[in-house]
Structure 1
Amino acid sequence: MQAIVIEDKQLVPREVPDPEAGAGEVVVDVTAAGVNRADVAQRQGHYPPPPGSSPYPGLECAGVISAVGPGVTGRHVGERVGALLAGGGYAERVAVPAGQLLPVPAGLSLTETAALPEVACTVWSNVVDRDRLRKGQTLLVHGGGSGIGTFAIQLGHALGASVVTTARASKHDVLRRLGADLVIDYTTDDFVAATRDFNGRGADVILDIVGAKYLSRNIEALAPDGRLSVIGMQGGRQAELDLGALMAKRGSVSSTSLRARPPADKARIVAGVTRAVWPLIEAGAIRPIIETTMPLADAAEAHKLMESSDHLGKILLTP
C-alpha cells in the first residue's frame, strides 16, 4: 500500500507493507484522513508516536473495514466507520483497535466523517467530560478558526453555553455563524478584557491550544471556579504560573494529550462522543467544517497550509 513516511523531517510517499488486524483490531481501507497540528509536530521531530503504534502520521480517518482481527465482535467487513488513531492515517489502510471506531453520522459522507474523530474526542473529553461545561456558562476557545476551534464553538453553542473565541479578523463572520457570541481579533485586542466585558466575570471554561504564551492571561480571564484546559503548545511549553492568582479564582489548570492514552481510555472517550455528540451532528447542530481535500501524495502541501494558519476548519487527505 502507499503511505506517507517521514524522512529527514519531510513527508514522502512510499510503498509499505499492508497492516494486519491484530487481536481486538480491524483494518480500515481509508477513504479520507484528517490533518492535525500534532502531525506537523511529529514531522518536525517533537511528537513521536506512542510505542507500538504506526510510525506514519495521521490521528483520524474514515473508511471501510476490510479485515477483522481475533476477538472483535459486532464489526464486519464492509462496514463504514470513522476512527480515532494513534497514528497511521496517512495511508491507504490502517489497523485500529475496535473500541476506537465511530459510526458514520446519518447524513454525512465518509469524507466528512474523517474531519470529526480527533476534534470531537479532544473537545468533548476536555470541555465536557473533564471541565463540565454547562448551559448558561461561558466557554473561551482559542484558535477559533482551527479544526478544534470550529468544532468547540459549535459544541459549546449546542450545549447552551455562551461562546467567546479568538481568531484573525478574516474568520470572524464564519465563526459567528457557527455560534460564537463574541469573536476577538487576537492580533489587536486583549482577550482578557474582552471576555470580562462580555459577561462581567470571565470564562468558566477555557480551551487553549497556545500554551505558555497565554498561561498568565488565561488565568486572568478565568471566572471564579473557572477551568483551564491546555491542549497545545503553539506558544511554547514553559511559563511561570502565579499560584496566588489561580487560588484567588479557585481555578484549576489541566493539560491533556489524547494520542498516548491507553486504548481503554480512548474507547471510553469514543463511547462518550458517540452517545453525547453524534446525535447533535445528526440533528444538524454541529457540522464538519472542511477547508479543503487534497490527494494523499500532496501531504507536504497540506502541512504548509496547516502551518500558515490560513485555513478554516479541517484539511483532509484522500488516498
Structure 2
Amino acid sequence: MEIVLTGEGGPEMLRVTSGDGPEPGKGEVRVRVEASGVSFAEVQMLRRRYPRQPRFPFVPGYDLVGVVSAVGPGVRGVRVGSRVAAMTRTGAWRTHVVVPASHVVPVPESLDPGVAAAVVMNGVTAWQMVHDVVRVRPGQTVLVHGAAGGVGSLLVRLAVLAGARVLGTASAAKHDVVRALGAEPIDYRAGPVPAAVRALAPAGVDAVFDHVGGRSLADSYSLLADGGILVNYGSAASLRDPGHWLRPYLGTIRRFTGWWLARVLGGGRGRRATFYYVRSGPRFAAALAEVYALVARGSLEPTIGSRLPMSEAAEGLRLLVEGRASGKVVLEA
C-alpha cells in the first residue's frame, strides 16, 4: 500500500494505491513501516508551496519508524529485524520504504513505534534549535509560536527542561494543553501578540521560535531583549501568498539581511536572526539519539494528538489544515 498525492488541492487529493517500495540496492535497506508522522510540510505540499517538492503525483511522508526487512549489498551495521527511524522528506507513506543505510537511526526497543515516530523530524528540529542554535539556559525567557503543535510542544518541553520560562502562542481552545506542557499561553487571536508578550515580559525575551514567517518575523524580532535571537524554522504564512512559492522567502531574506547589517554596523542591540532547516547526517543521528534517550527515561513525552491508520492519511492532513490538531498526528501501518 502507498498513499499518493495526485495533485494540488486539499486532503481529498490523496489516493490509497497498491504500490510498494522496490528492493534495496547497494548501500540501502528496505524498511517495513510501522509509523510515520504528518507534518505541516505536507500541508504546504498540498498547495504546491513547499520548496523543491516533487512533481505530482508522488508519495508524501517526511519521516518513518519501522523494522528493517532486507539489506542491500555493502551494508554494514544494520541488520534485518532492527527497528530504525529515518527522515525521508517524501516517500514514507507506504508499506515498505527503501532508504540509504547511512540515514537510519536505531530506535530503542522499549519505545512504542508511534511515540518514536512523533519525535523523528519534530524532535530533532526542537532539540537542535534549543540546544545547538539558541543554547537555552536556566533563567532565560523564550517565546514559542504554535506552542501546541508538533514541533512547538516539543520546543516548550525541551526549553522548560533547560530551565527557561516559556511563553507560548496558541488558540484559546488549546491553552490547557500549553499550560500542561509548562508554558504560559497567549491567545494569538485575542489581540496583538507583541502587546501580550510585553505585558508578561516587559524587558523582552531571550529567544523567539517562529514557524510562521512573513510579517510575523518583524513582530518576533521586535520582542527580543538585548542580545536575543530569533529562529525562523518555517513558513506557514506562505499559504496565504498567491504568488510564486519563492516570493515569501525573498522577503524574509531581505529582512534578515537588514538586521544582519544593523548588527555589523553596531546597531540592533546585539540581537540576531537566523534560519533553521533540519538536515540528515551525523548531527541529525546524534540529536535523535539524545531525544530517544530522554523519551525512554520518561523525561520527554511527545504530545500525540491523533493516531490514525495510514489508509486515513487524508483525515490526518485535514486535522492540520483545519487547525484541529494538538501535538503530532501519527499514521500507523
- 2:242 alignment counterpart: none
- 1:5 alignment counterpart: 4
* Distance change (3 Å), C-alpha of 1:135 and 1:73: farther
Output the amino acid matched with 1:5.
V
Distance in 1 between the 2:201 and 2:293 partners?
30
Distance in 2 between the 1:111 and 1:271 partners?
20
- 1:157 alignment counterpart: 160
- 1:294 alignment counterpart: 308
User: Per-residue deviation at 1:147?
Assistant: 0.4
> Please, which of 230, 247, 251 is the counterpart of residue 271 of structure 2?
251
Distance in 2 between the 1:91 and 1:48 partners?
22
Where do residues 248-287 of structure 1 align in structure 2 (5 Å cutoff)? 248-258=268-278, 261=279, 263=280, 266-274=281-289, 276-287=290-301
Query: 2:6–2:58: 8 Å Cα contact kept in structure 1?
Result: no
Where do residues 1-319 of structure 1 align in structure 2 (5 Å cutoff)? 2-9=1-8, 10-47=13-50, 55-105=58-108, 107-180=110-183, 182-236=184-238, 237=248, 238=251, 241=255, 243=259, 247-258=267-278, 261=279, 263=280, 266-274=281-289, 276-319=290-333
Output the amino acid matched with 1:257.
Y
Query: 2:146–2:211: 8 Å Cα contact kept in structure 1?
Result: yes
Aligned with 1:212: secondary structure? Answer: coil
Distance in 2 between the 1:36 and 1:65 partners?
24
Q: Percent identity at matched positions?
A: 36
Output the amino acid matched with 1:6.
L
Question: What do residues 232-288 of structure 1 show as CA deviations (whole Å, max 9, x unaligned)?
Answer: 111232367363887423222122332xx4x4xx332221331x3333222212112
* Distance change (3 Å), C-alpha of 1:156 and 1:298: same
Output the amino acid matched with 1:318.
E
User: Per-residue deviation at 1:116?
Assistant: 1.0
Structure 1, unaligned runs of 5 or more: none
- 2:245 alignment counterpart: none
RMSD over aligned Cα atoms: 2.4
Query: 1:206–1:218: 8 Å Cα contact kept in structure 2?
Result: yes
User: Per-residue deviation at 1:312?
Assistant: 0.5
* Distance change (3 Å), C-alpha of 1:48 and 1:234: closer
User: Per-residue deviation at 1:105?
Assistant: 4.1
Query: 1:209–1:234: 8 Å Cα contact kept in structure 2?
Result: yes
Aligned with 1:192: secondary structure? Answer: helix
Query: 2:63–2:92: 8 Å Cα contact kept in structure 1?
Result: yes
User: Per-residue deviation at 1:14?
Assistant: 1.7
* Distance change (3 Å), C-alpha of 1:278 and 1:317: closer
Query: 2:85–2:106: 8 Å Cα contact kept in structure 1?
Result: yes
Distance in 2 between the 1:49 and 1:29 partners?
26
Output the amino acid matched with 1:138.
T
Distance in 1 between the 2:129 and 2:67 partners?
29
Question: What do residues 134-182 of structure 1 show as CA deviations (whole Å, max 9, x unaligned)?
Answer: 22222211001110111111111111111111001111112111121x1
User: Per-residue deviation at 1:219?
Assistant: 0.9
- Structure 1 range deviating more: 242-251 or 80-89: 242-251
User: Per-residue deviation at 1:38?
Assistant: 0.3
